[in-house]
Amino acid sequence: MIETNNSECNNLPIFGIRPIIEAIESGKEIDRVLIQKGLRSPQFSELWHLIKEHQIPFRHVPVEKIKRLTSKNHQGVVAYLSPISLSTLDQILPTIYESGKDPLILVLDRVTDVGNFGAIVRTAEVCGVNAVVIPEKGSAPLNGDAVKTSAGALLRVPICREKRLRDALQQLQDSGIRIIACTEKSDTHMYQVDLSGPLAIVMGSEDDGVSDYIMEMSSAKAAIPMLGKIGSLNVSVSAGVVLYESLRQRAVGESAIQ
């Protein structure tokens, strides 16, 4: 029931209702589940309950798509195992504070390109980011391609996949962490923004940047100075620029304390 030669995704696909149920119940991390449109059966109802209970991303697709993935008895469902173990903010935040460090969290708002996602996490690992927060839907897949483009950083940096970014950001604020939105729509340059202390930096989607509701929740909005005429940077480059400025400010602060 398991095939490994799927070109759509480098992580392991599982076909059939019972194998997927067993994978979920055994604690395997599921990247996403493809479900045949209109699928109905008592056995699928059991799987559907688990998908909702564990908040596993899913997508309804035509049966033709699933047939292109396998000729075996798929029973209308295919799941992809993630090579990445997921964490939660409830697990991450107490550990950071107990270590005596100021949290540095990176929030990716609808960053869907695997190459950008992997490159961002690679930079995040180098800059000492404590966790990367992504939405359950509208984010790059957590697959082998992502691990490869991150140079393995995805196996080192805790990834928190949240059902609602709004709730995750509220949890961060309640934990004493300031939210900084990185956006070209701000008149304040990042060099004018305090990027030290407990901090969550938000990078927006490749198409339209940071969501409006996140902008409203943010303590400050930081723009990267640009002298050219293009007017924008690739999101992975932007993330690197802002993270290193935060790293610089934190180093300066530590030197002042010492």
pTM of the predicted protein model: 0.78
Domain limit, last residue, from 58, 81, 104: 81
- Res. 234: pLDDT tops 50: yes
Residue 181 and residue 63 share a domain: no
Q: What is the pLDDT of residues 49-75, one digit of tens each?
A: 999 988 888 889 998 888 888 777 888
Residue 217 and residue 190 share a domain: yes
In a domain, 241, yes or no: yes
Which pLDDT score, from 0 to 100, does residue 1 have? 31
Q: What is the pLDDT of residues 17-57, one digit of tens each?
A: 988 998 888 878 888 899 999 888 888 999 999 999 888 88
Which pLDDT score, from 0 to 100, does residue 255 have? 54
Q: Work out the pLDDT band at 253, boundaries 50, 70, 90.
A: low
In a domain, 5, yes or no: no
Residue 180 and residue 69 share a domain: no
In a domain, 4, yes or no: no
Identify the sign of the CA torsion 29, 23, 47, 59: positive
Domain limit, last residue, from 27, 51, 81: 81
Residue 76 and residue 97 share a domain: no
- Residues spanned by the domain of 190: 86-257
CB 187 within 8 A of CB 179: no
In a domain, 1, yes or no: no
Residue 153 and residue 69 share a domain: no
Residue 71 and residue 155 share a domain: no
Which pLDDT score, from 0 to 100, does residue 3 have? 33
Enclosing H/E stretch for 97: helix 89-98
Taking phi over 0 as left and psi of -120 to 50 as alpha, with beta for the rest, 68 belongs to alpha
Residue 175 and residue 56 share a domain: no
User: Chain-wide mean pLDDT for the chain?
Assistant: 87
Which pLDDT score, from 0 to 100, does residue 237 have? 94
